[in-house]
C-alpha cells in the first residue's frame, strides 16, 4: 500500500517579493497546478491516501477560487483519499459541503484505517499537554501519525507548535508524518519508527532553495519505507560567485556564467558575490543580471558578501588625497562591508568612474 | 639622507663608472649624451628597481631603456647614509623582474638585510617611488610648465597624485549627486519615493484587511437574513396551508349552506304540509262536537249516521295526507343521508378569515422575496470583497520588496555621506599637513631662489598661485620659462619640506636652469649654494655657465 506525505503547500500565498506582478500570479497558478499534478500522480500510481500535514494555505481567509480549485482536484480524484490536518495558519478553511474522499483531522485524535494501516492525526493546541497520552494505537498494525509543528525533544510548554518527540516515543508509531519545516528532513523517533518532514511541494522564495517535493510512504506487510520524490515545477537557487583574483567585469561575468552553466533555464536565481576583490575590480553586475532575467525565469542580486582587500600598510606612506582618505576610513572602525563600500565610492569618485 | 658613493657596473650607456659624493653641492658637468639622466635613473633604480616592465615603448619601459648597450652585468651598487647609519645596496637586473637580485648591507656591521626590496626601501625611506619622483628627483623634461598649466594644478597633482585638475572637487560633486539622488530637500529623492510607495501599499493592505472584515460582517448578516428567511418561509407555508384549509372549509360550507337550505326547505314544506293537513282535519273535526251534542239530544241514529259520514275520507284531506307523507319521507330520507344534522351551522367567520389570510400571505411573500434578494446581494458583495482581499498577498509581497529597497537605499545613502565626510576630512588633513606648510616654505624658497624677484605671490587655499605685479594679480603663465622653472623648483622644494619632515633627502637636479637668462643664472647659482647648506644636491648640467 502506498501513501503520499506532503505538507506546507501554502497555496495562494506570498511569493518572492521581487517577482513582477505577472510572474507572482503565474507562480501562484503553478503552485496550484503542482497540487493538481500531485493528485494525478496519486491516481496514476495507486496511492491509497494523501496526507497533508498542515498549512495548505497561509490563512483561513483564502479566496474561493483557490479553495474551490483544491476541492475540485480532490473531487476529481475519487479513488484517492485526502487526509487533511490543519496547521497553524489554515484552520477553518474547509467547511460546508466537501467531497467524500476529503477527510479532516480535528482537535482530538482521529483515526483512519486502510487495510492494516492506521493513520492518526490531531491538531496541536496550546496548553494541551495531554494530547500525546490520548493517542491510542494498536501495536499490531502499521501506524502513521501526522502532526504539524516544530520537532523538539524538550517540549516547551508555552508554544503550541512544538511536536514533542519524546512524548511520541514508545507509542507504536512507525512513521511520523510532520509538517511545518519547509525542507525534507528525517530522523529516528525510537526503535520502531522515524519522523519525517516532507518539506513544501514547491519553493516560493529564496529561503526555499533546492529540491522540493513529497514523500512516498510504502507499506509492505509490517514494513514501512519512505522515499523523497522531487516534484516542483520550478526550483530556486542561490548561486555564489567567488570573485577573488578577478578584476575586469568580463572576468566576473564569466565566473558567473560558469556557475550558472548547469542550471535549468526555468529556475529562479539569486546571485551572491563572495571572495576578495581589489580597488581595480569592477563587479557591477546590474546590467548582467538584467540580461539574466531574459534567459532564466527570474534572476536577482543577492547580498554582496565579497570583501575589499586593502591594508593600512599599502597606504601608510601614500602622500595623496586618496591615501589620506583610505587611511581615515581604515581607521574609522566601520563595519567591514560598509568600510569596503565607502572606500570603493571614494576611489571611484576620485578616479572619475561610476559610483555605485 | 646622503649619498656617499656609487658604482655602475653597466647601466644604459654607462659602464664601470664610479662616483664619490660630497655633502652639499655636487656638480656634474658633462656634455649632452654623456648619461646624466641615466645616472639619475640609476640612483632611483637602486632604491626602487626598474618600473614599467610590462610596457612596450622604450620611454616608459625602464628595463628596456637602460639595458646596457654593450651587454654585461646590468646593475651596480650604491652607498648612502640614513639617520646616521651607513648602507649599501647591490642590485642587478635580468630580463624580467623575477631575475633581479637585491642585497642590502649595513656598511659598518656588514649585516645583510633579508627582505623584499620594496619592503626594505619603504621601511627605510618612508615614501614610495611616486612620491620620490615627485619630489626628490627633478627630471629635466618632465613636468615643466606647458602654456596652459597652472601651479595650483601642479601643486595639487604633486600632492594628490592625480591627473585631473580639481579632481577633489569633481569627486565631491559626483558623490553629492549620488547623495541627492537618494535624498533631496523638500522631501524628494529615491528614499522619499520609496516611503510614499510603502505608505500607499500599506494603505492598500489595510483596505484589503478591511475588505476581509467586510466579508466577515457580510457573512454574519447573510446568516441572519437566511435565518429570518427560513422563519418567513415557514410562516408563509403555514399561512398558505391556512388559506387552502379555509378555502376547503368554505367549499364545504357552501355545500352545507345548500344542504341547510334544502333541509330548511324540506322541513318547511313538510311542516307546511303538516299544518295544512292538521288544519284540514281540524276543520273536519270541528263539526264533530255539535253533532255529538245533537246526537245526545236526538237519538243515537242520527248521530251515528252523521258520525259515520264524518268518518268517510275527504279527498282533499287525503291529498294533503299524501303530500305530507311524501314530504315527511323526503325530509327523513334527507336527514338519514346526512350524518350530522347538528353540524349544519355555518361558520360565518370563514369569509372574514380568508381575506385576512390572503393579505398576510402577500406581506410575507414580499418579505421573503426581499430577503432572498438581499442575501444574494450580500453574497455577491462578499465575493467581490473576497476577491479584492485576495490581492492581499500581492500587496504584502510588494511591501516587502519596497522595504528591502528602502533599507538598501538608506544604507547606500549612509555610505555616500560617510565617503563625503572622509574625503573632506582627508582634504583638510592634506591641507594641514602639506599644503599649508608648503605655502609657507614656498615663500622662503622663493626668497632664496629668486632673490626677491618672485615677490608678491599670493596662494589661496585651493593652491592657486598668483603673482602680483605692478598692482595686478596675474597667473604664473604670464612668466617666462626661466621664471617658471624657478617656481617649479620652489614648489618641489617646498613639497620636499612637507614630505620629509625628519631626515632631509638628497636632491637630484637635472639642469634646472636651462631656460634662465644668463644674468639670472648667477643669482640662481648663489641660491643653489645656499640651498646646498640644507640639502645634498646632485646637480647635473652641460654648460659651464651654469656651473
Comparing CA positions, the residue from B480, B484, B486, B424 lying closest to residue B450 is B486
Angle at B174 between CA B170 and CA B176, to 5 degrees: 115
Residues in chain B: 547
Instruction: Return the exposure string of B243-257: e unless at least 16 CB atoms fall within 10 Å of the residue's CB, then b.
Output: beebeebbeebeebe
Collapse the DSSP code of A214 into the 3-class scheme (helix H, G, I; strand E, B; otherwise coil) and give the result. Answer: strand
Query: Half-sphere exposure of residue A168, counting CA atoms within 13 Å on the CB side?
Result: 30
| DSSP states of A138-204 | -TTSEEEEEEESEEESS--TT-TTEEEHHHHTTS--SEEEEESSSS-EEEE-SSS-EEEE---SS--
Nearest CB to B167 within list A350, A355, A356: A350
Q: What percent of chain A has pLDDT over 90?
A: 59
Q: Give the residue from chain A lying closest to B212, CA to CA.
A: A61
For range B203-215, the mean pLDDT: 85
The β-bridge partners of B184 are: B188
- pLDDT for res B165: 39
Residues B37-90 have pLDDT tens digits of 888 888 888 888 887 665 566 666 788 888 887 778 899 999 998 888 888 999
- What's the distance, Cα to Cα, between the start and end of chain A in Å? 60
Q: How confident is the model at residue A141 (pLDDT cuts 50, 70, 90)?
A: very high
Put simply, the chain A residues between 333 and 352 with a CB less than 8 A from any chain B CB are: 334, 338, 341-342, 345-346, 349-350, 352
Comparing CA positions, the residue from B24, B131, B11 lying closest to residue B72 is B11
Lowest-confidence range among B155-164, B194-203, B205-214? B155-164
Helix (H) or strand (E) holding B14: strand B14-20
Q: How confident is the model at residue A77 (pLDDT cuts 50, 70, 90)?
A: very high
Question: How many other CB atoms sit within 10 Å of the CB of residue A260?
Answer: 19
- pLDDT for res B64: 83
Residues B495-520 have pLDDT tens digits of 777 767 777 788 888 777 777 777 77
Q: What percent of chain B has pLDDT over 70?
A: 75
Lowest-confidence range among A224-228, B300-304, B527-531? B300-304
Residues of B in contact with A341 (CB under 8 A): 412, 415
Put simply, the chain B residues between 154 and 173 with a CB less than 8 A from any chain A CB are: 159-162, 164, 167-168, 170-172
Nearest CB to A342 within list B131, B415, B425: B415
Q: Give the residue from chain A lying closest to B427, CA to CA.
A: A321
Nearest CB to A24 within list B175, B397, B422: B397
pLDDT at B403 over 90: yes
d(CA B30, CA B327): 180
B350 or B301: which leads in pLDDT: B301
- pLDDT for res B449: 66
Nearest CB to A328 within list B397, B412, B426: B426
For range B316-322, the mean pLDDT: 82
Round the CA-based radius of gyration of chain A to a whole number and report it. 26
B307 or A59: which leads in pLDDT: A59
Residues of A in contact with B161 (CB under 8 A): 318-323
pLDDT at A140 over 70: yes
Q: B95 — contact with chain A (CB < 8 Å)?
A: no
Q: Do B397 and A15 touch (CB under 8 A)?
A: yes
Best mutation target, B121, B422, B498, to test chain A (most A CBs within 10 A): B422
Residues of B in contact with A332 (CB under 8 A): 422
pLDDT at A157 over 90: no
Strand B101-106 relative to strand B85-93, pairing: antiparallel
Task: Let me know: does B183 contact B420? Beta carbons within 8 Å.
Answer: no
| DSSP states of B137-169 | EE-SSTT---TT--HHHHHHHHHH--SSTTHHH
Q: What percent of chain B has pLDDT over 90?
A: 12
Q: Give the residue from chain B lying closest to A344, CA to CA.
A: B419
- pLDDT for res B450: 62
Task: Let me know: does B438 contact B495? Beta carbons within 8 Å.
Answer: yes
H helix intervals, chain A: 21-44, 64-75, 165-168, 249-260, 286-295, 312-315, 321-331, 336-351
Q: Which residue has the cell 664601470?
A: B16
Show the cell assigned to B345.
351551522
Task: Of A205-214, B203-212, B509-518, give the range with the top mean pLDDT.
Answer: A205-214
Lowest-confidence range among A342-346, B101-105, B539-543? B539-543
Put simply, the chain B residues between 117 and 136 with a CB less than 8 A from any chain A CB are: 122, 126-128, 131
Residues of A in contact with B223 (CB under 8 A): none
For range A244-264, the mean pLDDT: 92
Q: How confident is the model at residue A120 (pLDDT cuts 50, 70, 90)?
A: very high
For range A233-250, the mean pLDDT: 92
For range A33-46, the mean pLDDT: 95
pLDDT at B139 over 80: no
For range A212-238, the mean pLDDT: 94
Question: How many other CB atoms sit within 10 Å of the CB of residue A87?
Answer: 26
Q: Do A338 and B415 touch (CB under 8 A)?
A: yes
Task: Let me know: does B21 contact B536? Beta carbons within 8 Å.
Answer: yes
For range A226-244, the mean pLDDT: 94
For range B490-496, the mean pLDDT: 74
CA distances from B416 to A255, A332, A341, A356, B407 (A): 29, 15, 9, 9, 14
CA distances from B237 to B56, B222, B230, B231, B370 (A): 108, 22, 10, 10, 17
Q: B176 — contact with chain A (CB < 8 Å)?
A: no
Nearest CB to B168 within list A63, A321, A355: A321
In B366-524, the DSSP E strands lie at 457-459, 465-469, 472-475, 507-510
The Cα of A322 is separated from the nearest Cα of chain B by a number of Å equal to 7
pLDDT at A267 over 90: yes
pLDDT at B349 over 60: no
pLDDT at B91 over 60: yes
Residues of B in contact with A345 (CB under 8 A): 175, 178, 415-416, 419
Report which DSSP code applies to A97.
S
d(CA B303, CA B63): 196
Q: Do B426 and A21 touch (CB under 8 A)?
A: no
Q: Mean pLDDT for chain B?
A: 78
- pLDDT for res B151: 39
- pLDDT for res A209: 92
Show the cell assigned to B443.
615663500
Residues A317-346 have pLDDT tens digits of 666 778 888 889 988 989 988 999 999 898
The Cα of A352 is separated from the nearest Cα of chain B by a number of Å equal to 7
Q: How confident is the model at residue A160 (pLDDT cuts 50, 70, 90)?
A: low
pLDDT at A284 over 60: yes
- pLDDT for res B153: 45
Q: A68 — contact with chain B (CB < 8 Å)?
A: no
Q: Mean pLDDT for chain A?
A: 89
d(CA B386, CA B381): 8
Residues of A in contact with B212 (CB under 8 A): 61
- pLDDT for res B284: 75
pLDDT at B143 over 50: no
Q: A301 — contact with chain B (CB < 8 Å)?
A: no
Question: How many other CB atoms sit within 10 Å of the CB of residue B27?
Answer: 16
Q: How confident is the model at residue B5 (pLDDT cuts 50, 70, 90)?
A: very high
pLDDT at B482 over 90: no
Q: How confident is the model at residue A136 (pLDDT cuts 50, 70, 90)?
A: very high
Contacts of A183 (CB under 8 A, 6+ apart): A197, A199, A200, A208, A210, A212
Lowest-confidence range among A329-343, B262-276, B462-476, B480-494? B462-476
Contacts of A29 (CB under 8 A, 6+ apart): none
Amino acid at each position: 500500500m502506498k501513501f503520499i506525505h506532503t505538507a506546507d503547500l501554502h497555496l495562494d500565498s506570498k511569493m518572492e517579493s521581487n517577482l513582477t506582478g505577472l510572474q507572482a500570479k503565474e507562480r501562484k497558478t503553478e503552485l496550484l497546478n503542482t497540487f493538481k499534478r500531485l493528485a494525478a500522480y496519486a491516481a496514476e500510481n495507486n496511492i491509497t491516501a494523501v496526507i497533508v500535514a498542515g498549512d495548505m494555505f497561509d490563512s483561513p481567509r483564502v479566496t474561493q477560487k483557490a479553495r474551490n480549485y483544491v476541492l475540485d482536484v480532490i473531487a476529481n480524484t475519487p479513488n484517492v483519499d485526502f487526509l487533511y490536518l490543519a496547521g497553524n495558519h489554515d484552520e477553518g478553511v474547509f467547511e460546508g459541503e466537501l467531497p467524500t474522499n476529503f477527510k479532516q483531522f480535528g482537535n482530538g485524535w482521529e483515526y483512519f484505517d486502510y487495510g492494516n494501516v492506521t493513520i492518526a492525526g490531531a491538531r496541536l493546541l496550546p496548553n494541551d499537554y495531554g494530547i500525546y497520552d490520548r493517542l491510542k494505537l494498536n501495536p499490531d498494525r502499521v501506524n502513521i501519525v501526522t502532526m504539524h509543528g516544530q520537532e523538539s525533544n524538550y517540549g516547551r510548554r508555552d508554544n503550541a507548535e512544538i511536536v514533542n518527540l519524546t512524548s511520541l516515543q514508545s507509542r507504536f508509531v512507525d512513521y511520523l508524518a510532520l509538517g511545518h519545516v519547509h525542507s525534507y528532513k528525517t530522523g529516528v523517533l525510537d526503535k520502531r519508527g522515524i519522523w519525517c518532514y516532507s518539506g513544501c511541494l514547491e519553493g516560493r522564495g529564496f529561503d526555499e532553495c533546492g529540491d522540493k517535493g513529497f514523500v512516498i510512504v510504502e507499506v509492505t506487510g509490517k514494513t514501512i519505507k519512505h522515499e523523497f520524490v522531487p516534484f516542483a515545477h520550478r526550483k530556486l537557487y542561490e548561486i555564489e560567485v567567488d570573485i577573488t583574483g578577478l578584476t575586469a567585469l568580463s572576468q566576473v561575468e564569466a565566473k558567473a556564467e560558469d556557475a550558472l552553466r548547469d542550471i535549468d533555464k526555468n529556475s529562479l536565481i539569486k546571485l551572491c558575490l563572495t571572495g576578495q576583490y581589489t580597488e581595480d575590480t569592477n563587479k557591477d553586475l546590474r546590467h548582467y543580471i538584467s540580461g539574466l532575467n531574459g534567459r532564466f525565469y527570474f534572476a536577482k542580486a543577492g547580498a554582496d558578501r565579497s570583501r575589499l582587500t586593502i591594508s593600512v600598510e599599502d597606504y601608510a606612506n601614500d602622500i595623496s588625497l586618496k591615501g589620506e582618505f583610505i587611511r581615515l576610513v581604515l581607521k574609522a572602525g566601520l563595519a567591514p562591508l560598509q568600510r569596503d563600500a565607502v572606500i570603493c565610492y571614494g576611489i571611484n569618485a576620485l578616479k572619475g568612474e561610476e559610483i555605485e | 639622507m646622503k649619498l656617499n658613493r656609487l658604482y655602475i657596473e653597466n647601466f644604459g650607456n654607462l659602464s664601470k663608472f664610479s662616483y664619490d659624493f660630497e655633502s652639499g653641492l655636487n656638480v656634474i658637468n658633462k656634455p649632452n649624451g654623456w648619461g646624466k639622466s641615466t645616472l639619475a635613473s640609476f640612483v632611483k633604480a637602486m632604491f626602487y628597481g626598474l618600473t614599467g616592465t610590462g610596457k612596450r615603448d622604450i620611454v616608459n619601459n625602464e628595463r628596456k631603456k637602460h639595458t646596457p648597450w654593450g651587454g654585461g652585468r646590468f646593475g651596480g651598487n650604491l652607498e648612502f647614509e640614513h639617520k646616521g647609519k651607513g648602507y649599501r645596496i647591490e642590485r642587478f637586473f635580468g630580463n624580467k623582474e623575477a631575475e633581479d637580485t637585491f642585497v642590502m648591507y649595513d656598511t659598518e656591521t656588514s649585516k645583510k638585510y633579508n627582505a623584499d626590496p620594496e619592503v626594505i626601501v619603504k621601511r627605510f625611506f618612508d615614501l614610495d617611488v611616486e612620491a620620490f619622483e615627485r619630489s626628490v628627483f627633478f627630471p629635466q623634461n618632465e613636468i615643466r610648465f606647458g602654456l596652459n598649466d597652472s601651479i595650483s594644478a601642479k601643486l595639487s597633482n604633486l600632492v594628490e597624485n592625480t591627473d585631473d585638475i580639481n579632481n577633489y572637487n569633481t569627486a565631491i560633486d559626483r558623490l553629492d549627486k549620488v547623495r541627492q539622488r537618494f535624498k533631496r530637500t523638500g522631501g524628494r529623492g529615491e528614499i522619499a519615493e520609496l516611503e510614499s510607495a510603502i505608505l500607499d501599499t500599506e494603505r492598500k493592505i489595510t483596505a484589503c484587511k478591511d475588505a476581509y472584515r467586510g466579508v466577515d460582517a457580510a457573512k454574519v448578516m447573510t446568516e441572519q437574513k437566511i435565518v429570518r428567511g427560513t422563519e418567513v418561509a415557514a410562516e408563509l407555508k403555514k399561512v398558505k396551508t391556512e388559506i387552502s384549509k379555509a378555502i376547503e372549509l368554505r367549499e364545504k360550507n357552501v355545500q352545507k349552506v345548500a344542504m341547510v337550505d334544502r333541509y330548511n326547505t324540506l322541513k318547511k314544506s313538510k311542516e307546511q304540509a303538516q299544518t295544512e293537513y292538521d288544519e284540514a282535519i281540524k276543520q273536519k273535526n270541528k263539526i264533530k262536537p255539535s253533532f255529538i251534542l245533537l246526537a245526545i239530544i236526538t237519538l243515537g241514529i242520527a248521530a251515528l249516521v252523521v258520525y259515520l259520514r264524518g268518518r268517510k275520507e275527504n279527498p282533499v284531506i287525503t291529498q294533503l295526507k299524501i303530500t305530507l307523507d311524501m314530504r315527511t319521507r323526503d325530509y327523513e330520507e334527507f336527514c338519514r343521508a346526512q350524518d350530522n344534522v347538528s353540524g349544519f351551522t355555518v361558520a360565518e367567520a370563514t369569509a372574514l378569515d380568508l381575506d385576512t389570510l390572503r393579505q398576510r400571505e402577500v406581506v410575507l411573500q414580499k418579505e421573503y422575496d426581499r430577503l432572498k434578494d438581499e442575501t444574494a446581494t450580500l453574497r455577491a458583495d462578499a465575493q467581490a470583497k473576497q476577491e479584492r482581499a485576495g490581492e492581499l498577498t500581492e500587496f504584502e509581497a510588494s511591501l516587502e520588496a519596497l522595504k528591502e529597497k528602502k533599507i538598501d537605499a538608506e544604507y547606500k545613502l549612509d555610505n555616500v555621506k560617510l565617503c563625503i565626510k572622509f574625503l573632506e576630512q582627508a582634504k583638510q588633513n592634506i591641507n594641514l599637513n602639506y599644503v599649508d606648510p608648503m605655502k609657507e616654505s614656498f615663500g622662503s624658497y622663493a626668497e632664496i631662489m629668486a632673490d626677491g624677484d618672485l615677490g608678491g605671490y599670493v596662494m589661496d587655499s585651493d593652491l592657486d598661485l598668483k603673482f602680483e605685479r605692478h598692482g595686478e594679480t596675474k597667473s604664473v603663465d604670464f612668466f617666462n620659462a626661466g621664471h617658471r622653472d624657478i617656481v617649479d623648483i620652489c614648489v618641489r622644494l617646498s613639497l620636499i619640506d612637507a614630505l620629509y619632515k625628519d631626515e632631509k633627502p638628497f636632491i637630484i637636479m637635472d639642469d634646472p636652469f636651462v631656460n634662465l637668462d644668463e644674468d639670472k643664472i648667477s643669482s640662481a647659482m648663489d641660491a643653489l649654494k645656499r640651498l646646498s647648506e640644507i640639502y645634498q644636491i646632485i646637480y647635473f648640467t652641460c654648460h659651464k655657465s651654469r656651473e
